[in-house]
Structure 1
Amino acid sequence: MSDWQPRLIATDMDGTLLRGNDTVSDATVVELERWRSEGVPVVLATGRPPRWMVRIREVLRHGTAVCCNGAVLLDLAGFEVLEEDALEPAVLQQVTAELRRHQPDTWFAVEYGLEFRHEPVYQPRWDVDAPGVAVATLEEMVAAPVAKLLARHETLPRNDFIALVERVVGETATVTNSSTDALAEISARGVTKATGIAKVAAEHGVGPEDVVVFGDMPNDIAAFDWVREGGGRAVAMAHAHPDLLAAATDVTGTNEDDGVAAFLASL
């Protein structure tokens, strides 16, 4: 595959494209713009909600971003939500009730549009006082469709909690995780970064064999499986989670070492 060239570039943000200080290096911006100028779309595929895309939009101003682990397609130029695969109230009510029955100290939050709601006892780690962030009751949060349900536990070990959530949710919805905390991210059934990237790729007439995807955490596994099984390239960062490394076709440097730019420059 030494002469292989991607027709679409998809990259995770945190821990992958972004450095630890939440910035993109000049070298990475130049490399991405070089590919874009040659007609290769650059797609940001992230667990982040649209409201966390404002700063990156100032750097990478064009294209479609896959947000909320595939649930939301966001046009960066117009900052407009193009499509949303939402969790419906019936599923939200069932999942939250079952999780709380199994583990009463599970606390919830939801993402939808540019808004974030969380229970009073839920402890957000970011954007505590940001616009669009507000406290709500669980009953209020599960009464309308949402892009993503967040379930957090403050004392259980991360792996134990994620395993519990996966068992309880089963086939009802899709569970991913991209945090070192006991935080589960729950999307509608079948919705992953892979489904989001596939939609954008199809709009450009591109199949998985012509896609390179970069990532570092387990919420990237579905996208890695999609491109690897289709003949494309799944590139893990050097510091990536072991489960993601096992799904990769290639490994590049860390986000601090501009691993995404280095790999693209090598093609």
Structure 2
Amino acid sequence: MSDWRPALIVSDLDGTLLRSDETISDVTLAELGRWEEDGVPLVLATGRPPRWMHGVRERLGGGTAICCNGAVLLDLTEFAVLAEWPLEPADLRAVTGELRRRAPGTWFAVEYGDQFRHEPVYQPRWDVDAPGVAVATLEEMLVQPVAKLLARHEQLPRDAFVELVAEAVGDRATVTNSSSDALAEISARDVTKATGLARVAAARGLGPEDVVYFGDMPNDVAAFDWVREGGGRAVAMAHAHPEVLAAATDVTDTNDEDGVAAFLASLRS
């Protein structure tokens, strides 16, 4: 595969394309620009909701983003939602009820549109006072479809909690994690970064064999599997979660070492 070149570059954001200070380096932007000039675009695949994409849009200037772990397809150029695959109220009620029963001390939040709602005891780690962020009761949060349900536990270890959530949810929804703490991200059944990526690639007449995908956390594993099994390149950052490293075809430098740019440059040499 030494002469292999992608037709589509896909990257996670936090811990991957973004440095630890949440910037995209000039080195990375220049390398992405060279590929863009050759007709190879960048697509973002992130757990972030659309409301967290404004700064990225300003730095990149546009493009396409798969947000909320595959639940939202966003046109960054127009900043318009193109499609959504939400978690429905009936499933929200079933999932939250089962989790509250199995793991007392689990608290919930939801993402929908440009809004974020969380229970009073839920402790957000970011943008607590940002526009669109508000406290709500669980009952208030379950009355409409949501892009992502977040379940947090302040006492249990991350991996143990995420495993507990996955067992409780079963096949009713999709569970993943992209955080260093006990935060489970829950999407509609069969909605992952892989399903979002497959839709974006198919719309361009491409398949997994045409994709190079960069990631670092468990919410990237489904996309890694889709790309790897289809003959593309699934590239883990050097600091990636063990599950991501195990699913990768390649490993590159860390995000703070511009690993995405370094790997892309190696494909050009």
Tell me the TM-score normalised to structure 2 length: 0.98
Q: Which amino acid aligns with 2:219?
A: N
Task: Give the 5 Å matches for 1:238-249.
Answer: 238-249=238-249
Q: Which amino acid aligns with 1:257?
A: E
Q: CA deviation at 1:40?
A: 1.0
Whether 2:155 is the aligned partner of 1:160: answer no
What residue number does 1:177 align with?
177
What residue number does 1:79 align with?
79
What residue number does 1:116 align with?
116
What residue number does 1:93 align with?
93
Q: Which amino acid aligns with 2:62?
A: H
What residue number does 1:127 align with?
127
Whether 2:42 is the aligned partner of 1:42: answer yes
Q: CA deviation at 1:62?
A: 2.1
What residue number does 1:7 align with?
7
| Identity, % of aligned positions | 75
**Cα deviation code 1:71-92 (max 9, x no counterpart):** 0000000111111100000000
Within 2, Cα distance between the matches of 1:243 and 1:228?
Answer: 14
Q: CA deviation at 1:203?
A: 1.2
**Cα deviation code 1:118-174 (max 9, x no counterpart):** 001100000100001011110010110000000000111111111110110010000
Q: Which amino acid aligns with 1:91?
A: D
Within 1, Cα distance between the matches of 2:222 and 2:264?
Answer: 21
Whether 2:14 is the aligned partner of 1:24: answer no
**Structure 1, unaligned runs of 5 or more:** none
SS of the aligned residue for 1:181 comes to coil
Tell me the TM-score normalised to structure 1 length: 0.99
**Structure 2, unaligned runs of 5 or more:** none
Q: CA RMSD in A?
A: 0.6
Provide runs of 4+ in structure 1 moved above 6 Å. Answer: none
Whether 2:234 is the aligned partner of 1:234: answer yes
Within 2, Cα distance between the matches of 1:114 and 1:31?
Answer: 31
Within 2, Cα distance between the matches of 1:62 and 1:207?
Answer: 23
What residue number does 2:151 align with?
151
